[in-house]
C-alpha cells in the first residue's frame, strides 16, 4: 500500500470514529470532481464530510523523497429538525477543525488550514450549506519508490467547484528528482 493510500484510509477511519454520535452520517473519499450533481448526491447523506487530494509536488532532501500534498475536505449540511443549516455548518466546521489540528492519521498535524464558506445560489436553492477546508501535508516515500510508476499520483487530480469559481488541480510528475 502506498503512503497516500495509507493516509487516506487512516483519515477516513479517524473521522468516522470521531463522529459516531451521528453528527456526521457520511464520511467519504471523492475524486475531486465536485460539480453540482456530485454535491446533490452527497447531500442525501448529509451531514457529510467528503475528502480529496489536490495539488502535489515532489522533492528530494537528504536522500529521501517527499510528496507535498494538498488535502481538501468538503463539509456539507442541510437543515435538521433541531438546527438550521447555518448553525449546523458552523458547528461542524468548528469540530472538524479541532479534529484536523489534533489528528493522528498523519506524521504531524497541519500548522495551518484554510476554510472557505462555499455559499452559492445553487446550494441555497437546494437547502444546503457547504464549507471547504484545505490544508497541506508532507509525506515521506519509502526509499524504493519508483516515482515514474507511482500509482498514488493518479489519485491526486480533480476540479474543485465552489460557487462560480473553478480550480483545476493538476500534478506534474518529474522525470528525475534533483
Express each pLDDT in 136-171 by its tens digit: 888 887 765 555 555 544 444 455 555 565 555 554
Domain boundaries, the chain: 3-169
> Considering only CA atoms, which of 72, 76, 74, 73 is closest in space to residue 127?
76
SS3 138: strand
Percent of the chain exceeding pLDDT 70 equals: 77
Express each pLDDT in 38-84 by its tens digit: 888 888 888 899 999 888 888 888 878 888 888 999 999 887 767 78
CATH number of 3-169: 3.30.2000.10
CA–CA separation, 147 and 84 (whole Å): 47
Buried b (16+ CB within 10 A) or exposed e, 126-139: eebbbbbbbbbbeb
Phi, psi of 155 (to 5 degrees): -80, -15
CA–CA separation, 130 and 160 (whole Å): 13
Which whole-number Å values give the CA distances from 111 to 50, 100, 103, 164, in the listed order? 21, 10, 12, 29
pTM over the 0.85 mark: no
Write down the pLDDT at residue 111.
80
Amino acid at each position: 500500500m502506498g503512503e497516500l493510500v495509507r493516509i487516506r484510509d487512516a483519515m477516513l477511519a479517524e473521522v468516522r470514529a470521531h463522529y459516531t454520535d451521528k453528527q456526521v452520517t457520511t464520511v467519504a473519499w471523492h475524486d475531486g470532481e465536485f460539480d453540482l450533481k456530485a454535491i446533490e448526491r452527497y447531500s442525501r447523506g448529509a451531514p457529510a464530510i467528503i475528502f480529496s487530494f489536490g495539488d502535489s509536488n515532489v522533492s528530494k532532501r537528504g536522500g529521501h523523497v517527499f510528496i507535498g500534498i494538498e488535502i481538501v475536505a468538503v463539509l456539507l449540511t442541510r437543515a435538521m429538525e433541531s438546527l438550521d443549516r447555518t448553525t449546523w455548518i458552523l458547528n461542524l466546521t468548528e469540530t472538524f477543525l479541532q479534529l484536523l489540528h489534533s489528528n493522528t492519521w498523519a506524521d504531524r498535524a497541519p500548522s495551518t488550514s484554510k476554510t472557505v464558506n462555499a455559499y452559492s445560489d445553487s446550494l441555497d436553492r437546494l437547502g444546503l450549506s457547504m464549507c471547504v477546508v484545505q490544508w497541506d501535508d508532507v509525506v515521506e516515500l519509502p526509499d524504493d519508490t519508483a516515482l515514474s510508476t507511482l500509482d498514488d499520483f493518479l489519485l491526486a487530480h480533480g476540479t474543485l467547484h465552489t460557487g462560480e469559481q473553478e480550480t483545476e488541480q493538476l500534478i506534474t510528475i518529474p522525470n528525475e528528482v534533483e
